[in-house]
Structure 1
Amino acid sequence: MQNEHRQVIEEAKQAAVEVLLHNAHGPYQGLPRTAGWGYPEPYTRDLMFSILGVAVSGNQTLLASIRKVLETLANNQTARGHIPSLVHDKDDRGASDTTPLFLLGTGLFRHVTGEHDFLQDAVGKALTWMEYQSPSDRCLVAQQPTSDWRDEQWVLGYGLYVNTLVYSYLRLLGQHARADMARRAMRRFTITGGVQHHHVHEGLVVQHKPYFAFWSYKVHSSERFDLLGNSLAMLSGIASPSRAENMIAWIEAECLSMVNKGALVGDLPPNFFPFIQPDDPDWHDRYDLYNKPGEYHNGGIWPFICGLYVAALVAAKKYALAEKKLLALTEMVRVANTPNLAFGFNEWLKAQDGAPRGQDWQTWSAALYLYAATCVAEKRTPFFDDVRKCSKE
């Protein structure tokens, strides 16, 4: 890497830490903010993802804030083990990804601190809750539409993203037998043809394509591409090395095609494609207000997800491509809506023109930039290296 590139990456890393420190103490019980100004609330999923960046930063103030987040979530856990969507509000319930993210976050925190029994009672309850989220009682967990981070997009049944979280926390928490079951289930093919035989169970592998399905349930599925779920599949080892290599080649080719068609600018992939169009059968009227093609969950470019994609490239040993994408991400996190910010760390950008459309100084945008930069610099993926090692055994 050229010296000038190293310098700008270091500047961005310092700016990311400044963002996280600014956001570490908010107006709700002193818990961290989700964004510098727009989101003062402590959203569970954002803060759980941010643990990856906080952990590699080594900043003790940030680690202390995460400890407080995890302990508050445990205190606000329901009697049956569910984790709320807002850290401070025990009545804000119903998300499909907050409980698996809590388990993942706690596993990461235990790894960093060496406190291997940290929040053991809460972890046990959460694990039990997650077992009851499997309708088939075969490890894959199901969800209701708009219940994960995509609050404006339908994911029905067995969603890829949530199940990659489940697999990852099972490995981090030493639940290897159940993790093996989850991986076997996810590696089954999705069911096509409209008929489900009693001895055939749905999975998330798409025939003749290198990536995993967006979601699957009985004879229904979506073969649109989910960058977050597939990046986590590569990081965790759900995707084999050969599948990861083929998937990366496919992603890059599809993105180049979108650029050539004017549907995408820049050198980073959208979170989701092909975009859902108004005449598609999976379009919902509400998308016209909140989820237009190339925007928000329907193909917006999300820096936190791009950070995980960079990490997935490192996991696949695509070091030169990971460096190239990190430099593109470094330029992206400069973009801001707020005047006079050297680095905006915006929430998401429109695919067609790269304009920032979310909130600046977003916690998970800053945190996952730190994680991606660490992965590229060290040619490893902290924490997920251990998960993939277990996946090979």
Structure 2
Amino acid sequence: MTLKTPDHREAVSQAEALLKNCITGHGFLASPTDSDNYRRIWGRDGIIIGLAALMTDDHDMIAALRSTLETLVKHQGPHGEIPSNVDIRSGRVSYGGMTGRVDADLWFVIGCGEYWNVTRDDSFIQRMLPAIEKVVFLLGAWEFNNRGLLYVPATGDWADEYVHNGYILYDQLLYLQTLRTLHHLRRRITDDDDHDLRTRTSLLKHRIQDNYWFGSDAAIPDDVYHEIFFEKGRKAADRCTRRYWLPFFSPHGYGYRFDGFANVLASLLGVSTPSRRRTVDAYIDRHVVPDEIKLLPAFHPVIKPIDKDWEDLHITFSYSFKNRPYEFHNGGLWPMVTGFYVADLARRGETAKAKDYLAGIHGANAMSMDKLPWGFPEYVNGSDFSAGGNRQQCWSASAALMGHYALKGKKVFTIHEDDTPVQ
């Protein structure tokens, strides 16, 4: 089955309309629907939506990002923690579920920096800098052993009902961009070219490159976290060696599933090398993305009841179990993740492939939900390609805008290492 692709102009128009429908005086809602807790201001969702908004040059949408950031900082916790979400109707503030959401803090700093870098809103950033500094101090404490990598508890990031924890690649990549952002702001706002922060950022990049890619059986890389542990993990690895970035490691071992978001960010944030990018692209083309619709899954391969991870997955949920095979994070196909991939492909000049994946996003967003067209589903089932999750998901709409404007030359991340373009 090949799914129908809607007209590009209509798809972009529908996406813009949904983003504007998600604007409130407090910022972007994750969704205008009342399902579960989506009708709230989210740290993660709001910033991702806002990054796409910045690419549009639309005044109202850019102002909504500012409002989102202001709502989040208004409810910053006593140690610096940024809310996972804020219910603007009840006033309830959540910093996470069973554990806090580490990536809400990371996206907040990134969002503040990107907003200022595009708008040069000096009064805003001057008010935000103390909160940003507090967040980064807290993140340093979450390294726990002062060795440069964040330790993320289970359910501690966007994959909050999935079975990974520890030193998660996705969070390390956002941590790298967070430190870059802080250095950029200090340098531009306070004229402080912080050498220690620059060194810390450079070291983190090397640690990511050395710890999350299994190459040949040559010498162990210089910045490996634990040499014996790394060597054991490399010997146990089969499907991921020299094929894609590792998703995480913890005291219990390495994860080996393909993490779609992390592999895209490794390229988009300039951590990957050209040869590794080509290797990951080839793996995605051959093993990960279905022929029927060009969308990336959250994770691959699917965890099934016969797999050893199934028992842990089956008890990890907030409201109801969502991760049946090919659904949600367990093999569900995500327009949001794919939006970042389109941006990366466009940045690299892979225009034809970027357009194919943007067409996949449009096809997903146009799917009917509750008998209404343009459902903007949270994800698409990876087996039967039906719309899944919550409808009218604003970051699914933002993926369409992100891809559209990336193909026009706009960048998702305007802050780069040493203030130079990512190569």
- Using the size of structure 2 for normalisation, the TM-score is 0.81
Aligned to 1:271: 298
Aligned to 1:64: 63
Aligned to 1:106: 112
SS at match of 2:379: coil
Aligned partner letter, 2:279: N
Alignment of 1:324-363 (within 5 A): 324-341=356-373, 343-363=374-394
Aligned to 1:235: 268
Residues 208 and 92 of structure 1: is their aligned pair in 2 closer, same or farther, counting only changes over 3 Å? closer
User: How far is the alpha carbon of 1:391 from its aligned partner?
Assistant: 7.9
Asked whether the equivalents of residues 152 and 287 of structure 1 are also in contact (C-alpha less than 8 Å), the reply is: no
The answer to whether structure 1 residue 186 and structure 2 residue 208 are counterparts is yes
1:176 to 186, 198, 201: 198
Aligned to 1:245: 278
Aligned partner letter, 1:16: A
Residues 271 and 201 of structure 1: is their aligned pair in 2 closer, same or farther, counting only changes over 3 Å? same
SS at match of 1:177: helix
Asked whether the equivalents of residues 50 and 364 of structure 1 are also in contact (C-alpha less than 8 Å), the reply is: yes
Count of matched residue pairs: 375
Alpha-carbon RMSD across the aligned residues, in angstroms, is 2.9
Alignment of 1:205-354 (within 5 A): 208-218=241-251, 220-255=253-288, 265-284=292-311, 287=314, 289-341=321-373, 343-354=374-385
The answer to whether structure 1 residue 139 and structure 2 residue 148 are counterparts is yes
Q: Distance in 2 between matches of 1:199 and 1:269?
A: 32
Aligned to 1:156: 165
Aligned to 2:12: 13
Aligned partner letter, 2:18: V
Q: Distance in 1 between matches of 2:117 and 2:111?
A: 10
Residues 211 and 62 of structure 1: is their aligned pair in 2 closer, same or farther, counting only changes over 3 Å? same
Aligned partner letter, 2:303: I
Alignment of 1:11-90 (within 5 A): 11-25=10-24, 30-37=26-33, 38=35, 39-88=38-87, 89-90=92-93
SS at match of 2:368: coil
Q: Distance in 2 between matches of 1:202 and 1:286?
A: 25
- Using the size of structure 1 for normalisation, the TM-score is 0.87
Q: Distance in 2 between matches of 1:312 and 1:62?
A: 23
Higher alpha-carbon deviation: 85-94 or 381-390: 381-390
Residues 190 and 329 of structure 1: is their aligned pair in 2 closer, same or farther, counting only changes over 3 Å? closer
Residues 200 and 186 of structure 1: is their aligned pair in 2 closer, same or farther, counting only changes over 3 Å? farther
Asked whether the equivalents of residues 268 and 329 of structure 1 are also in contact (C-alpha less than 8 Å), the reply is: yes
Residues 368 and 278 of structure 1: is their aligned pair in 2 closer, same or farther, counting only changes over 3 Å? same
Asked whether the equivalents of residues 27 and 46 of structure 2 are also in contact (C-alpha less than 8 Å), the reply is: no
User: How far is the alpha carbon of 1:374 from its aligned partner?
Assistant: 0.9
Q: Distance in 1 between matches of 2:407 and 2:417?
A: 18
The answer to whether structure 1 residue 383 and structure 2 residue 413 are counterparts is yes
Q: Distance in 1 between matches of 2:106 and 2:174?
A: 6
Residues 189 and 164 of structure 1: is their aligned pair in 2 closer, same or farther, counting only changes over 3 Å? closer
SS at match of 2:254: strand
Asked whether the equivalents of residues 85 and 98 of structure 1 are also in contact (C-alpha less than 8 Å), the reply is: yes
Q: Distance in 1 between matches of 2:418 and 2:377?
A: 30
User: How far is the alpha carbon of 1:344 from its aligned partner?
Assistant: 2.2
Alignment deviations for residues 249-295 of structure 1 (CA, whole Å, 9 cap, x no partner): 11101136x65xxxxx4232322101112222222255384211211
Aligned to 1:262: none
The answer to whether structure 1 residue 128 and structure 2 residue 159 are counterparts is no
Aligned partner letter, 1:33: L
Identical amino acids, percent of aligned pairs: 26
Aligned partner letter, 2:139: M
Aligned partner letter, 1:298: N
Residues 197 and 376 of structure 1: is their aligned pair in 2 closer, same or farther, counting only changes over 3 Å? closer
The answer to whether structure 1 residue 371 and structure 2 residue 402 are counterparts is yes
User: How far is the alpha carbon of 1:170 from its aligned partner?
Assistant: 1.9
Q: Distance in 1 between matches of 2:133 and 2:211?
A: 31
SS at match of 1:335: coil
Asked whether the equivalents of residues 237 and 391 of structure 1 are also in contact (C-alpha less than 8 Å), the reply is: no
Please list every run of 5 or more consecutive structure 1 residues that lacks an aligned counterpart in the other structure: 260-264
Asked whether the equivalents of residues 114 and 415 of structure 2 are also in contact (C-alpha less than 8 Å), the reply is: no
